Amino acid sequence: MAWQIVHNFDVEGGKANLNLRCPYLEMQMWIDPEMENPEYLQVDTLHIRVIHFVTGTINITFLFYQKIQKELRISDSFDYAQSLLSPRCIKSHLPLQMLPPKLLDTCKVIVVARNPKDCCVSFYNHEKLFPAQGYTGDFPSYARLFKMGKLVTGDYWYFMKVFLVIKFIRVHLK
Q: Which residues are catalytic?
A: 93
Q: Is 53 helix (H, G, I), strand (E, B) or coil?
A: strand
Give CA–CA dist 126/108, Å, rounded.
28
CA distance 111 to 138: 29
**17-28 burial: b if 16+ Cβ within 10 Å, else e:** eebebbbbbebb
Q: Could you tell me if 18 and 90 are in contact, meaning their C-beta atoms sit under 8 angstroms apart? A: no
Residue 113, phi then psi, degrees to nearest 5: -110, 120
